[in-house]
Structure 1
Amino acid sequence: MKKTIIFLVLVSLFWSCEEEFLDEKPEDFLSSANAYTNYADFTASVNNLYFLVRRQFYDRDENRPFDFIYGTDLVYDGEPGGSQRHGNMEQAYRPDGDIATTHWNLLYKTIAEANTVIGRAPASDMSEAEAKDIISQARFFRGFAYRVLVTLYGGVPLVTDEVTAPKIDFVRASKEEVLNQVVEDLIFASQNLPTITEATDGRVNNLVAYHYLTEAYLALGKNTEAITAASMVIDNPNTDLMRTRFGSRSTETPGDVFWDLYRKNNQNRTSGNKESLWVIQFELDVQGGGLQSGNRGGSYAFERHFAPLLRFRPFNSWPVGDYTGGRGIGWGITTEFYSNQIWGGDASNPDFTNDIRNANHNFVRVYNRDNSSALGILANDIGRDTIWSTETQPRRREFYAYPSKITTPYNHPDGLLRPGSVPFALTSSAGGTYTDQYMLRLAETYLLRAEAYLANSQPALAAADVNVVRSRANASLATASQMNIDYILDERARELGLEEKRRLTLMRTGQLYDRVIENNPFYVQQGMQEHFNLWPIPADEIEGNRGAELQQNPGYN
């Protein structure tokens, strides 16, 4: 009898606390139950959001970061034959291809991680100030990711809560609904992120949120709101265009303030650069820093893709880390439009000579060691044909004009220099660009507000903003009568070429197809079609979404 009573008591205790008894409480390993507790936990997750952005746009692999440049009006593939650099465009943009699938996955990975942080922060041990810091960053990155998604794919599924169980019934929200979510997240971020003077180098700040909020308002047709948001950035007393020489190599000649913007260690505000708004951080020989002194593994292979491949006399010591392009391989050849037409065509146009952005140290046409215009070979004189065909390319892969911002002349790490008598001779492991990278700087905000003024039927104010940028460059001033979207896109190419994510700009403005047809004969030959203004929804997403129809974009099978 005594045994029976003890048994019943034990059963009673078991059933009364069954749920608590079965709760797993890991104490000696990390799990979803204990990974989000304090500020350090959440900071680690937010740091991964920064990493995901750098991974997508700068250092994931050899090709995917440059999907935002290839297939536009600026460059074409110097070694055609495949789809990696957007040649054979129908193949490149297949719904089951790497391009559309990789970026979709990375963007939704960013959103998923942001949602986890946002959802779990209120129940954590963080203080109110710590929670505000964490949530404002997470909401910025969620808004940023949806901004890119809606630009690349149109309306996409909206997911704003952590998904904790399998879900196979996603449906596409409208473009307007997605943009409204972007606005909501970026308003929160703009009101709660640290100011630009409070934020450390590489951290997002409230002005970055205001800039991207401007884009979202423009896409929604809210031009007045767009102007107001951009003005928050431009009118901030802590931002300004750099107009005098500064930074690590400011005493060197030839050079100017535009050249200084891209020199090593000059991108962050700690260098005195008041123009930078958001800078992606790279560190040499630091774990996770993205740069290595002995090879280009994991680096931003900007130089490798877009600098020329020199293999003939007088450059038989190639590669050399000077104004011969470093260790480029000539994949991203500049179009006639980018290297000549936007500057006025040739030296008979004053802007071709006077605009400092087109000076030889900024847009290299004369290849030699000292960057002297009196010596060397003029790149423009080799193959100026403007029609690309399968038999003849307009320029040689080995020799074409290129912007020096894509390389680091005389600044490659010592571990990449070959021993011998040739100064700055590089090993075959070179090809990265050994600087921090601008995701956003103030000149772009001026050109974005000009776009908003133009959309708001205020061309004189649009011209005034464009002329702030052109004045710094010593270019002739634009007039109100010249203001149209093509002029602003041309100015963006002059100021931001290969630096901005050109595909996002052209897709956002609905100009990708028209600009490629007009300015890039190579991609016309490669099958450019109007429906490429949007990428396809990845086939895996459609096939795996068995509980609802996830509609494909028009034009894709």
Structure 2
Amino acid sequence: MKRILLIKIFLLSITTLLLVACNKEWLKPKPLSFYEPGVALSDAQGMYSAITACERNMRHEYFGDAAPAITEIIQSEVAVEGTTDKAGPQMNMDISLLPDAQLNHNDYTKVGWYWYEGYKGIKYANLVIARINDATFKDENEKNAVLGAAYFHRAYRYFKLTHQFGDVPYIADEINEPKYDFYSYDRWSILEQMKKDMEFAYQWVPEKVDRGRTSKSACGVLLMKICMSLADFDRAIAIGKEIVALHPLMKNRFTVNATKPNTNLMFDLHSVEAKLDMSNTEGLMYVVSYPLVDGSDRIQTMRNAVPFWNSGAIITPDGRTGTSVDLAANETDLSLNLNKAYGRGIGRLRSTWYFTNEIWRADKEANDTRGILNKDSWRKMTDLRYNHPSLKSGNNQWYAKNFVKPAAMSVEDTIRAWYSWPHYKVFVPDPTQSGNWAGGETPWYIYRSAEVYLMLAECYYWKNDPAQAAINLNEVRTRAGASPLTASDVNIGEILDERARELYYEENRHIELVRIAYIYAKTKKPCEIFGGRVYQLENISGPGGTNSNVKQMGINFWYDRVVSKSNFYNKGLKHRWAEYKVSVHHLLWPVPANAINTNLKGVINQNIGYPGAEKNVTPLKVE
């Protein structure tokens, strides 16, 4: 592997910064050891090194086996947990989402990761914010740019936390000693403060930055999301127009992959090469992991999202084992190497029928290069071919023939090993691995201008301007080859469908559904896809009470959307280990019991519907 001395020195410097991370007692700081903030944070370079800890923390959300981002996708209508070989994974949310459950583990859920790592990111950002006046800068612009970047990282975490956990502790200062008197703050007041901070950031953070750093447009996207959450749609529209004017969509093929057979513009856009290409105008914010560079990580999208085709469940019609990671010794047809062609998946992120079929309409997405109707972009299990070496050596008639679904395939294996997936989106070559290809090293999009167009469309929807909403939706749709929509097509379901088509494995899908649920409850706008239903803030998580597993439509939009679209939750699907269940109060996640129990001198509220909520007090407000 390529060794780069500067990278090693850089990583060593940020390692010292990580010494201020929390131990298992929530937000209790570790000793600073030889790291001296007063020295390291004395200028812009030192400040940006501290912000690197925030950027590294961002990358961890998307990278690795059972990446936390998968929990966000699973808690929506797009996908479910697919590992059906054991009890514990987040299928029955009434059991797996409890305050004292295992909330931060690959085999369960990563809900707790967002709580603890969110506050780590806030801690790193607050270190810079608190010491900004103690450092020396070449001018006010440089100082404000650093402060704006720190504001972005703090607001990035609070935006997530307020949509995942609701009312949460607000920490605006550096913490230098153990603290056990945290209180929950009203989520709306936190978002109002984040809006002020992000207006500052959007003004001062520069547009041209190194890949992986915070840009002005990245600040603008986050500010748009916050404005939308607060129903300030006019401000969000103004920002969005500025961003897309500077960052047009990539509409022509632009990477070395352009000459490869069976590829298209979507392959270009989501390839490693595109994310490294500085001519890519569409990428607004990335987390970085560079191929063959020390300190990088493997994203493992293929392990997480591709079906478990090598589980032993794929057998030939005559009952023989059909698949193998390794090819027959004398095989010259390399397309039979399923491992390198698609990745050796384990089916953890199991797509729903809604995502694999319902949103791809024959009349409107027939030519959509993002969809299942495009044979280059998507893969069905019947596209794969039997490759087990024993089939070849035994001259079996099924060798190199396309898969046929076994008639007696179990429910467990059907869930985990037999579904379609967007190959173009999750395929990341993994050449450093001699065995299983899981998904290699690559930068990854956090924000793209395509999402900005979809946010603009949503803003116009809230403003009752479907014509403008359709115009912005069509910017994204026509680029992909889909038929344009008209104003009469526009509703919140169409907007969410388009987000699913464009932003799978990029957006925090659960957060976006929750954000929309709160906007409906705040604005009282009737929801047309549910018969004009009007939601209320007062009971958005349901009636409350310990173990209040209410399953009643009409309480919040998140629940209604998930159970109406997920063929797992609305059909009572069971397998031998679990039944897929979700309740109204799972709109918000449980605050980990350890965070509440170790906060001896304060009160961190538990969310309605979970044990402990009966002890809640009125949340404070950010002044």
Q: What TM-score comes out, normalization by structure 1 length?
A: 0.82
User: Superposed, which structure 2 residues align to 1:363-378 within 5 Å?
Assistant: 363-365=378-380, 367-368=383-384, 377=402
Residue 279 of structure 1 aligns to a residue whose secondary structure is strand
1:47 alignment partner in structure 2: 52
Structure 1 residues 174 and 382: CA distance shift in structure 2, 3 A:
farther
1:6 alignment partner in structure 2: none
Question: CA separation in 1, counterparts of 2:164 and 2:56?
Answer: 21
Letter in 2 for 1:179: L
Structure 1 residues 350 and 484: CA distance shift in structure 2, 3 A:
closer
Native 8 Å contact 2:167 2:605 kept in 1: no
Q: Which of 405, 421, 426 is 2:424 aligned to?
A: 405
TM-superposition CA deviations, 1:480-507 (whole Å, max 9, x none): 1221111100111111122322122112
CA radius of gyration, larger in: 1
Native 8 Å contact 1:194 1:205 kept in 2: yes
Residue 258 of structure 2 aligns to a residue whose secondary structure is coil
Question: CA separation in 2, counterparts of 1:167 and 1:274?
Answer: 44
Native 8 Å contact 2:292 2:441 kept in 1: no
Question: CA separation in 2, counterparts of 1:81 and 1:224?
Answer: 49
TM-superposition CA deviations, 1:189-226 (whole Å, max 9, x none): 1111111xx21212111111111111111111111112
Q: Which of 560, 563, 566 is 1:514 aligned to?
A: 560
2:115 alignment partner in structure 1: 104
User: Superposed, which structure 2 residues align to 1:45-124 within 5 Å?
Assistant: 45-55=50-60, 57-59=61-63, 62-80=66-84, 85-96=89-100, 97-98=103-104, 99-124=110-135
TM-superposition CA deviations, 1:132-166 (whole Å, max 9, x none): 33212111101111111111111212111112233
Question: CA separation in 2, counterparts of 1:32 and 1:205?
Answer: 25
Question: CA separation in 1, counterparts of 2:85 and 2:189?
Answer: 39
Residue 202 of structure 1 aligns to a residue whose secondary structure is coil
Native 8 Å contact 2:84 2:415 kept in 1: no
Native 8 Å contact 1:306 1:328 kept in 2: yes
Residue 179 of structure 1 aligns to a residue whose secondary structure is helix
1:456 corresponds to 2:463: yes
Question: CA separation in 1, counterparts of 2:75 and 2:86?
Answer: 13
2:542 alignment partner in structure 1: none
Question: CA separation in 2, counterparts of 1:322 and 1:263?
Answer: 18
1:301 alignment partner in structure 2: 300
Note the residue ranges of structure 1 that are not aligned, 5 or more in a row.
1-27, 291-298, 370-374, 386-390, 418-426
1:492 corresponds to 2:518: no
Query: How many residues are aligned here?
Result: 489
Letter in 1 for 2:496: L
How far does residue 104 in structure 1 lie from its aligned partner after superposition? 0.8
Native 8 Å contact 1:408 1:434 kept in 2: no
Native 8 Å contact 1:265 1:436 kept in 2: no
How far does residue 169 in structure 1 lie from its aligned partner after superposition? 2.3
How far does residue 76 in structure 1 lie from its aligned partner after superposition? 2.2
Residue 350 of structure 2 aligns to a residue whose secondary structure is strand
Letter in 2 for 1:221: A
1:252 corresponds to 2:260: yes
Residue 285 of structure 2 aligns to a residue whose secondary structure is strand
User: Superposed, which structure 2 residues align to 1:104-253 within 5 Å?
Assistant: 104-128=115-139, 129-195=141-207, 198-236=208-246, 239-253=247-261
Structure 1 residues 100 and 306: CA distance shift in structure 2, 3 A:
closer
Structure 1 residues 434 and 377: CA distance shift in structure 2, 3 A:
farther
How far does residue 32 in structure 1 lie from its aligned partner after superposition? 4.0
Residue 34 of structure 1 aligns to a residue whose secondary structure is helix
Note the residue ranges of structure 2 that are not aligned, 5 or more in a row.
1-32, 105-109, 317-321, 327-336, 386-399, 518-556, 573-579, 612-623
Question: CA separation in 2, counterparts of 1:203 and 1:378?
Answer: 45
Native 8 Å contact 1:83 1:89 kept in 2: no
1:436 alignment partner in structure 2: 443
> Kindly, what percent of the aligned residue pairs are identical?
28
1:529 alignment partner in structure 2: 583
Residue 333 of structure 1 aligns to a residue whose secondary structure is strand
